[in-house]
Structure 1
Amino acid sequence: MAVSPVSTASGKTRFDDIYNQPDPRAYVRRLAPLDYEIPHHAQDVFRRTRADRSAADGTDGPVTVLDLCCSYGFNAALLNHHLTLAELYAHYTSPEVDALTSAELIEHDKKFYAARRRADAAPVIGLDTADHAVQYALAVGLLDHAYAENLEHHPPSPRLRRAVADTGLITVTGGVGYITHRTFQALLESARVPIWVSAFVLRSVSYQLVIAQLAAHGLITETHSAQTYPQRRFTSAAEQRRAVEQVLAAGDDPIGLESEGRYHTRLYQSRPRSE
């Protein structure tokens, strides 16, 4: 398995070559052997949070979800379909799809996902700088709207602002660090209904500036510091060493977690003070 270079800024291995392909097959072939599992842990959390957000409105109607750093739409796939992450990995590594062109795979996957659509499926907006990845997710029906925009450097487009206006829940698995409080600020300034945030954040990355930005918009953030969720195995001793250093610098203990060979995340849930 080829390993991409390590980023000098974060110490994390870079996977730039697989994040913006016309379809997810290379992404799965690279990350599945590393036990990339955070979407699995997020599946039930996001479903429960979506239900709680709907109940807060006093209805059981659909809540629009905005998935940050959505890539190929796997969080949307797991949220809205009768599927597990293991089944997604098996699908994209199967001989059946291996020989297909990207265009053929898109047509195949339209039927694949439509046959597994849940009755309680929610509208999902995808936001990521990877334009090919979000277009795939949109084409196969995982996303209702897709935006390839970088809110770290540019304000949201008018179309994205209108989409965010009706968003009730923002989700993210592992994207914090690539995106910062600036992205959250831009989104929250576009919100017109009470918005909740459910974020899985690496313990090697600080979330404090995001928490402060959420608080400035009336959201209270809670986390259970003792509970963590594994993300993936380290690609090298150098990546592990840097992660351990960052966790220690944040005042956390890596023993039994990062010291055992995996990145770990913490779940942060943010809601309006009134709720």
Structure 2
Amino acid sequence: MHGMTSFEDIYDRPDPRAYFARLAPLSYEIPHHAQAVFRRTLAERAEPGLTVLDLCCSYGINAALLNHDLTLADLYAHYTSPEVRRLTSAELIERDKDFYAARRRPDAVRVVGLDIAQGALDYARAVGILDGVHAVNLEEHAPTPALTTTMADVGLITLTGGASFLSRRTFAALLECARRPVWVSAFVLRTTTYAPIASCLAGFGLTTRTDPERTYPQRVFTGPQERRAAISAVRLAGLDPTGWEADGRYHAALYESRP
């Protein structure tokens, strides 16, 4: 989104320490809100053998929170601790294999990640957070044969960030490969319109619902410039920033798309 601070440099490292160190002071919290929502959605879906596809998954944070007895606060504490800061990436990966295995929930589901950040995907796969990874940009390329095969089992697509970089192309490419009914749960910043994607999903028989009054704080602004840009974008979208962006942080709405 125009006017939004770029954090591109923290999304494709060999491990997520820089990601958590940079986002902690900004109180980045969307994965925390998504944790309860995604667990509830899966309970409602209640379909055995279902795979979750986490879109723009980065280091697999959503999968870590979905399938492990951990909170986002636990992850911030873990990755910013002096003990963990001293390790090499290889040492951290070995340590994190045990860290996640010890906290794995008995009701864990298969989660596959899709992102363009190969380094982040490699980390999440290596420590066992993600059961499969696909590094492909569906805005520019067709799904790989491996992704097409994966989509046969996907019943839920999740998204907590990156909607502003996605168009109907990505969602159409995924749903064209689907073999079972797919639900979509997406957290989208109020500065971004989800209408074209919702329209695309409607073409696949999905109805999208959102409660405009129920928002989820994403993070505080990096400064006055980002705040001004967000307020302007929200007004442009026909929304009122009062009590939301005007108070100093991004807010996201939850869009649930189901048959």
Q: How does the TM-score come out when normalised to structure 1?
A: 0.93
Displacement, 1:63? Answer: 2.4
How far apart in 1 are the matches of 2:34 and 2:65? 9
Match of 1:120, SS state, is coil
Show the counterpart of 1:142: 129
Q: Does 1:201 align with 2:212?
A: no
Q: Is 1:163–2:150 an aligned residue pair?
A: yes
Candidates 60, 65, 70, aligned match of 1:73 = 60
Paired residue type of 2:194 = Y
What is the aligned partner in structure 1 of residue 7 from structure 2? 15
Deviations 1:199-232 (A, max 9, x none): 0000000000000000000000011111100000
2:49/2:153 contact within 8 Å kept: no
The CA distance in 2 between the partners of 1:68 and 1:103, in whole Å, is 26
Determine if contact 1:62/1:121 at 8 Å carries over to the other structure: no
Alignment of 1:95-174 (within 5 A): 95-174=82-161
Q: Is the 8 A contact 2:227 2:248 kept in 1?
A: yes
Question: In structure 1, what is the equivalent of residue 20 of structure 2?
Answer: 28
1:97-117 superposed Cα distances (whole Å, 9 cap, x missing partner):
111100110000000000000
Alpha-carbon deviations, 1:105-138, whole Å to 9, x = none? 0000000000000000000010000000011000
Instruction: Flag as ranges the 4+ runs of structure 1 deviating above 3 A.
Output: none
Q: Percent identity?
A: 63
- 8 Å CA contact 1:234–1:263 kept in 2: the answer is yes
**Paired letter, 1:16:** E
For residue 51 of structure 1, the aligned residue among 43, 49, 60 is 43
* Counterparts of 1:138 and 1:179, CA distance in 2: 23
Q: Which of 62, 72, 80 is residue 85 of structure 1 equivalent to?
A: 72
Superposition CA RMSD, Å: 0.8
SS in 1 for 2:165: coil
1:73·1:142 contact (CA, 8 Å) conserved in 2? yes
Residues 18 and 27 in structure 1, CA contact (< 8 A), matched pair in contact too = yes
Pick aligned residue for 2:170 from 176, 179, 183: 183
C-alpha distance in structure 2 between counterparts of 1:165 and 1:238, whole Å? 44
Cα distance in 1, alignment partners of residues 50 and 141 from structure 2: 27
SS for the counterpart of 2:201 is: helix
CA distance in 2, matches of 1:179, 1:100: 35
Q: Residue type matched to 1:132 in 2?
A: G
Q: With structure 2 as the length reference, what TM-score do the two structures score?
A: 0.99
Unaligned 5+ runs, structure 2: none
Is the Cα contact below 8 Å between 1:62 and 1:120 reproduced in 2? no
Gaps of 5+ in 1: 1-8
Structure-2 residue corresponding to 1:37: 29
CA contact (8 A) 1:50 1:63 kept: no
SS at match of 2:243: coil
Change (3 A) 1:52 1:94: same
Aligned-pair distance for 1:62?
4.3
